[in-house]
A and B are shown apart, each in its own frame.
Chain A
């Protein structure tokens, strides 16, 4: 297995990497977003976003609420049509050859329904067969995923009755089922209890260690700092910093760097004199 992570890092140095030149499929980054833009009516949600996710990297996308994280990721996986810009997954354009691109990526969107009235195993079987896997493979992988994600006890529970954490886990299982090379996960740790979070973390780390790339969005800085080797900060629809975690935080904690980058001011110090008087 050729580890291409090093090369990816070099692409990142010096802020935005060189675009334009067509990389050959062997060295194209796992995910490359160029000039992505999306406006809803007059609100510009995503404004000229550039991102490069190197192969084999664990990439965190952070930003305040409403910064455009979910919008960007939705456009990156083909769930939302961009107004402008291109998205390439391992060099394959998502919007020009969606069939090839979508075979390479596993997706966990945030706040979207699954086929709710199936059990976990039924959902995985359905997903696998829909992906064109054969029945024996689907059955074996589904059993293994349910076991690792500790969803076997809930064998006969419908997804609609799952807790938030279980939903994230079964969503992750559907994303992993076809053995993708890139995982795009929107808020995979939101509302997940610490034990399940640790399970998910271990699975993702193993996935990266075996050569896969992960992109996840979050607004928990400690988590991104601990888990990811690359990070991009997005605010008001623009990427304001991107690169290896060390480089982006520049000697401070990621949280300090983040507050500084998004131009935030930690409020709460003034007024309210009547409180607890």
Chain B
């Protein structure tokens, strides 16, 4: 059973790897295996500095790998779904047997191998401590590996069950976006905790050993110091935890296979008459603005993108001011960061909406309205946030000098962003994974390295569009001429307005001329 499933999984993997995907897979595999190697090395280093330090380091590493197994699937797209339990729902198999089989198959892959390498650190480290600790290490490392993998499966599975409905999926997209953001606070936490770990703080060490991820190193420590009670306790606890998780996993499988993943109650669209709508003109452009504003609010993917870019734009300056360095320089410019990030994120507007662009193509005259409406909608959402940030934050930071800089560059970036974004969306669209029935965590991305290229281009473009204002500002600064600096504001307004109009017109013409090709581009391959 396990053998058949592993062969099946390897076959599916080899079919789904081709060209660019194979390269990125190989790169990911290299990084993963290297991480495993580094972790192994660190644990060995720890044990060479004594049993206690080694145990602490091993506990930290196992905890980190387990966290990785929990967060990774949420960020990377729902974990390992190469073999879906649904495919085996009609086979006469007991849930436990199926759980065992899927678990075995899920061990064939790069992340498990990297984790095995990392956990080998415990065994290698224990070799220094003698034969008995080494034997204990082998047994507990296997149990700990099972614990990590099972925990990840159960947690992601349970989340999937909760997030199975469309509403839940929307929540999942947001969760994934926030998990992706969490690396910032995590980094600061890591920087704060690393010295404490190296000092071998007894409270922290004790906590780490009592966590399930620390049971295996604690057992090895017990074997090395003759505390056999700890060894037996840890091994039994690990085995019991594994058993419970396996049971939970098979229960989840049953649940997943017997409940339909659909909405039971119809989702409501909120107020029937949205108040914002009546303010918009009853013209084609007004209709598109109304539709776009609704989609920005209702489409979880779009909302998550905007939310994260606004949060990153505001947090990076705030966090760096918490760090102390450059606070006064960064904080006043948060508004610019918001515009920059949200433009970087939103360069695939037609990809978001998938094949629904057919609607624009078959409607005469709709291309113009569509491009302009999308520009306005983005500007109406990002603009106010950026403008408020630009008006308030320099004052809050006490940097009054920054006002002409922020207010001169902001309109140029807003207008330029609204134009360039549409140009990218029309000229360089790529399909997003279909949202109906697909993984809630899968967000899709530009293939290969073109993503980096697009980001670079966008940043260069933002710099170029801000140049007229910047030159005035720099000259004004050097010449100590505030009038010159303040002229940058109308100049920024003019460049921004022109860029939005001109680039929008280019996008419009392209959409009109090459609509069918755009439709073919955004049609997801499968």
Binding site for B on A (CB under 8 A): 77-81, 98-100, 102-103, 105, 107, 109, 111-119, 121-122, 125-132, 134-135, 154-158, 160-161, 174
Docked CA distance A117–B272 (Å):
13
Q: Are A107 and B362 in contact (CB under 8 A)?
A: yes
Q: Which of B259-304 contact A (CB under 8 A)?
A: 263, 266-270, 272, 282-284, 286-288, 290-291, 294-295, 298-299
**Is B452 at the interface (CB under 8 A from chain A)?**
no
Chain B nearest CB, measured from A75 CB (Å):
9
Q: Which of B134-192 contact A (CB under 8 A)?
A: 166
**Is B443 at the interface (CB under 8 A from chain A)?**
no
Q: Are A102 and B363 in contact (CB under 8 A)?
A: yes
Docked CA distance A81–B519 (Å):
11
Q: Which residues of B contact A111 (CB under 8 A)?
A: 355
Docked CA distance A157–B370 (Å):
24
Q: Are A125 and B287 in contact (CB under 8 A)?
A: yes
Could you jot down 6 A-B contacts, CB within 8 Å? A111-B355, A115-B353, A118-B291, A129-B286, A132-B365, A158-B269
User: Which one of B267, B286, B370, B520 contacts A158 once the chains associate, using CB atoms below 8 Å?
Assistant: B267
Q: Are A161 and B364 in contact (CB under 8 A)?
A: no
Q: Are B266 and A157 in contact (CB under 8 A)?
A: yes
User: Which one of A99, A113, A121, A127 contacts B365 once the chains associate, using CB atoms below 8 Å?
Assistant: A99
**Is B484 at the interface (CB under 8 A from chain A)?**
no
Chain B nearest CB, measured from A184 CB (Å):
9
Q: Are B166 and A160 in contact (CB under 8 A)?
A: yes
Given contacts A78-B516, A117-B294, contact A112 B355 (CB under 8 A): yes
Q: How large is the interface on B (under 10, 10 to 19, 20 to 34, 35 or more residues)?
A: 35 or more
Docked CA distance A78–B369 (Å):
18
Chain B nearest CB, measured from A62 CB (Å):
23
Q: Are B362 and A77 in contact (CB under 8 A)?
A: yes
User: Which one of A98, A114, A155 contacts B272 once the chains associate, using CB atoms below 8 Å?
Assistant: A155
Docked CA distance A122–B282 (Å):
13
Docked CA distance A118–B361 (Å):
19
**Is B81 at the interface (CB under 8 A from chain A)?**
no
Q: A112-B355, A130-B360 are in contact. List 7 more A-B contacts (CB 8 A).
A: A102-B362, A112-B358, A114-B356, A116-B299, A127-B359, A130-B369, A157-B267
Q: Which residues of A contact B268 (CB under 8 A)?
A: 156-157
Docked CA distance A161–B437 (Å):
12
B42-70 interface mask toward A, CB cutoff 8 Å, 1 = contact, 0 = none? Answer: 00000000000000000000000000000
Given contacts A112-B355, A156-B269, contact A79 B282 (CB under 8 A): no
Q: Are B291 and A126 in contact (CB under 8 A)?
A: yes
User: Which one of A81, A114, A129, A132 contacts B359 once the chains associate, using CB atoms below 8 Å?
Assistant: A114
Q: Are B516 and A81 in contact (CB under 8 A)?
A: yes
- Output the nearest chain B residue to A105 by Cβ-Cβ distance: B362
Q: Which of B336-367 contact A (CB under 8 A)?
A: 353-356, 358-366
- Output the nearest chain A residue to B436 by Cβ-Cβ distance: A160
Q: Which residues of B contact A78 (CB under 8 A)?
A: 361-362, 515-516
Docked CA distance A107–B519 (Å):
15
Chain A nearest CB, measured from B260 CB (Å):
13
Q: Are B362 and A79 in contact (CB under 8 A)?
A: yes
Q: Are B166 and A161 in contact (CB under 8 A)?
A: yes
User: Which one of B267, B269, B288, B520 contacts A130 once the chains associate, using CB atoms below 8 Å?
Assistant: B288
Q: Are A115 and B272 in contact (CB under 8 A)?
A: no
Most buried by A among B269, B356, B369, B517: B269
- Output the nearest chain A residue to B287 by Cβ-Cβ distance: A129
Q: Which of B369-411 contact A (CB under 8 A)?
A: 369-370
Q: Are B356 and A112 in contact (CB under 8 A)?
A: yes
Docked CA distance A117–B263 (Å):
15
Given contacts A78-B362, A79-B362, A122-B269, contact A130 B287 (CB under 8 A): yes
Q: Are B361 and A79 in contact (CB under 8 A)?
A: yes
Q: Which 5 pairs, one residue from A and one from B, show the smallest C-beta to C-beta distance?
A: A129-B287, A117-B298, A135-B282, A112-B355, A113-B356
Docked CA distance A80–B357 (Å):
12
Chain B nearest CB, measured from A163 CB (Å):
10
B226-242 interface mask toward A, CB cutoff 8 Å, 1 = contact, 0 = none? Answer: 00000000000000000
Q: Which residues of A contact B354 (CB under 8 A)?
A: 113
Chain A nearest CB, measured from B199 CB (Å):
53
Q: Which residues of A contact B272 (CB under 8 A)?
A: 119, 121, 155-156
- Output the nearest chain B residue to A154 by Cβ-Cβ distance: B266
- Output the nearest chain B residue to A125 by Cβ-Cβ distance: B287
User: Which one of A98, A115, A117, A155 contacts B364 once the chains associate, using CB atoms below 8 Å?
Assistant: A98
Docked CA distance A160–B262 (Å):
12
User: Which one of B294, B355, B364, B366 contacts A122 once the chains associate, using CB atoms below 8 Å?
Assistant: B294
Chain A nearest CB, measured from B281 CB (Å):
9
Chain A nearest CB, measured from B511 CB (Å):
12
Docked CA distance A129–B365 (Å):
11
- Output the nearest chain B residue to A103 by Cβ-Cβ distance: B364
Docked CA distance A131–B267 (Å):
28
Docked CA distance A37–B267 (Å):
44
Q: Are A80 and B359 in contact (CB under 8 A)?
A: no
User: Which one of A79, A115, A119, A158 contacts B356 once the chains associate, using CB atoms below 8 Å?
Assistant: A115
Q: Are B359 and A79 in contact (CB under 8 A)?
A: no
Docked CA distance A12–B478 (Å):
81
Chain A nearest CB, measured from B280 CB (Å):
9
Q: Are B516 and A117 in contact (CB under 8 A)?
A: no
Chain B nearest CB, measured from A72 CB (Å):
14
- Output the nearest chain B residue to A155 by Cβ-Cβ distance: B272
Q: Are A119 and B359 in contact (CB under 8 A)?
A: no
Q: Which residues of A contact B515 (CB under 8 A)?
A: 78-79
Q: Which residues of B contact A98 (CB under 8 A)?
A: 364
Chain A nearest CB, measured from B7 CB (Å):
26
Docked CA distance A111–B524 (Å):
11
